[in-house]
Amino acid sequence: MTIATDQFVNCEEVASGVNVVTINRPERRNALNLAVKQQLTTAIEKLSADAQVRVIVLTGAGGYFVAGTDIAEMAGMTPTSHTLLATDRVFNVMRQSGKVLIAAVEGYALGGGCELALTCDLIIAGETAKLGQPEICVGIMPGAGATQRLVRTIGKYQALRLLLTGEPVTAGVAFAMGMVSEVVADGGALTQAITLAKKIASMPPLAVRAIKEVVQQGHDVPLETALLLERKAFQLLFDTQDQKEGMQAFLEKRKPVFQGH
């Protein structure tokens, strides 16, 4: 069932609780201009507010994820226009979403496209896909999270290698760095992302949400604080019907039926 089709962004329910959002601007390799960003923001906001949605898969049409931000549109921008146009809003909306986000990457995920993938919780990539941050090559730097996410994901030395040279890496190298969740044959990223999304969507929703929240919030706090966050979330799940159903089903050797409460 198609939920919405805008000029550049399509949104489709492909399984119970699983929706695929496709950036559809293949003539520009799905480069992010303001219209794409606004339509993508609207789609993610709507899906994030829908209680029936469990997982969002983000992909691109035409064999590409997102080749970058639209340089032709960005070249004349000023600091004020970036502020007034909120050019980073889509990244903030994705970061704040309570849903699990999976990027299905083929072709290129460069610049803003790589940052879009990095904002997701999981990244599935075709083996010859290229990921990188080439902003330095046009006189600027990443501005939607790459300098911070890459350092936290792959460490200072690998992050600076990408950021200071602008050179992309293949999916295999990115996987070895810890930047990608899984590498599949070219053309298979979306299929595998949907398979993974279905698996996650079948899990108890409150436990999924608690895990995502604790990982996000615990990442940048002292270990003792993070462990406390984990322990409190763990204990709270024992007040859910899904915990009782899951453990009873295990003892009875049957498949659990999770209801999300």
Residues forming CATH 1.10.12.10 domain(s) in the chain: 205-251
Check if 135 is active-site: yes
- What would the CATH number be for the domain defined by 2-201? 3.90.226.10
Side-chain half-sphere exposure of 135, counting CA atoms within 13 A: 19
- Helices 89-96 and 112-119, axial angle in degrees (round to 10): 20
How many helical (H) and strand (E) elements, i.e. helices and strands, does the chain have?
12, 10
Determine the Cα–Cα distance for residues 113 and 43; give it in Å rounded to an integer: 17
Model confidence, pTM: 0.93
pLDDT value of position 1: 46
Catalytic residue, from 13, 27, 106, 115: name it: 115
pLDDT value of position 3: 53
Domain 205-251 sits in which CATH superfamily?
Lyase 2-enoyl-coa Hydratase, Chain  A, domain 2 (1.10.12.10)
Q: Identity (one letter) of the amino acid at 108?
A: Y
Catalytic residue, from 135, 182, 245, 252: name it: 135
pLDDT value of position 4: 56
The 3-state DSSP class for residue 58 equals strand
β-strand partners of 70: none
Residues forming CATH 3.90.226.10 domain(s) in the chain: 2-201
Determine the Cα–Cα distance for residues 67 and 65; give it in Å rounded to an integer: 7
The 3-state DSSP class for residue 258 equals coil
- Run means of pLDDT, 10 residues per run, the chain, 261 residues: 71 96 92 92 95 97 91 81 82 95 97 96 97 94 92 95 96 96 98 98 96 92 94 96 95 93 88
